[in-house]
Amino acid sequence: MKLLRTESLDEGLIFLAQEPNVHVLAGGTDLIIQMRKGTIRPEALLDASAIPELKIIRRQGRELSLGAALTYRELVGADLPASLHGLKDAAHGVGSPQIRNTATLGGNICNASPAGDIIPPLLALDAQLHLMRWVQGAPTTRRVALSSFLKGKGQTDRAPEELLTHVSFEVPADRSVLVFQKLGLREALAISRICLAVAAGEKEGRFTFARIATGSLGETALREPSAEQYLTGAPLSEDTYAACGALIAEAAENRLHGRSTLPFKREAIQGLLTHALRAIEKEMTS
């Protein structure tokens, strides 16, 4: 098996373009397990963990860009706006400290697990992905919404010769915040049984916008448009939270019909959403 470890983005892109059956290695927390199980058998590996362009934390105006090779430890320790604490909460809840030291933002996205903790917060932030490939002697870039990139469990829109370089999104404006909630089988080291992220804004006691994303309610993490539409313009109140919870429970029931996990997940997602909306109200009114 060929292995290329490089600090050159161009060299990495050329390697992806020229070698057959290449897999990208950054942290390797999922890839190595899959290789040991024999579920994937790459002929070559590109170690992209040392490419500087994949380690950026850059803000230009309202837009924040995060490199795909950032580890969760680096993400938790990053100087991010306070309104993004939900993103840090999601990163901090991933695995053990040893896993957070090596697992990467881009690896979690490209692994496309329905239970990937970092994906719902990024969906709620309406995140864009930036992918590069080598074409006719030069690098080219493609930008795609995360919501369009995810195609199913373990399935994405990434072409084999493409490299995810970074994620970008607009930082929530004043009177806006991102929150994350997760329910696992135990408090620590738990893969999410179910998780949820809400980005929302408030003015004069009403929601100015809401973006809600759930994980482990289907084949991939998803936005929840019916609940989002209901919240927009609605008052911050227990009646609103109950009605919105009923909508998201209905969505879960349609998605999980016939599955043994439905009764648990239907109740759990309502509880997580209510908890998240109460947390937003507390932040907005304190």
Alpha-carbon dihedral 89, 92, 93, 95, rounded to 10 degrees: 160
Is the pLDDT assigned to residue 189 strictly greater than 80? no
Is the pLDDT assigned to residue 148 strictly greater than 80? yes
11-39 as b/e: b if 16+ CB within 10 A: ebbbbbbebeebbbbbbbbbbeebbeeee
12-21, 22-31, 56-65, 161-170: range with lowest mean pLDDT: 22-31
96-105, 198-207, 268-277: range with lowest mean pLDDT: 96-105
Mean pLDDT of 84-95: 93
pLDDT per residue over 95-123, tens digit each?
788 889 999 999 999 999 998 999 999 99
End-to-end Cα, the chain, rounded Å: 57
Is the pLDDT assigned to residue 192 strictly greater than 60? no
Q: Which domains does the chain have, with CATH numbers?
A: 2-170 (3.30.465.10), 176-285 (3.30.390.50)
Mean pLDDT of 240-248: 98
Q: Give the distance, in angstroms, between the CA of residue 266 and the centroid of all CA atoms in the same chain.
A: 22
pLDDT for res 218: 87
Q: How confident is the model at residue 191 (pLDDT cuts 50, 70, 90)?
A: low
pLDDT for res 285: 87
Kindly report whether the global pTM for this prediction surpasses the value 0.85.
yes
pLDDT for res 185: 58
CA distance 68 to 57: 10
DSSP 8-state assignment for residue 171: P
Mean pLDDT of 174-178: 94
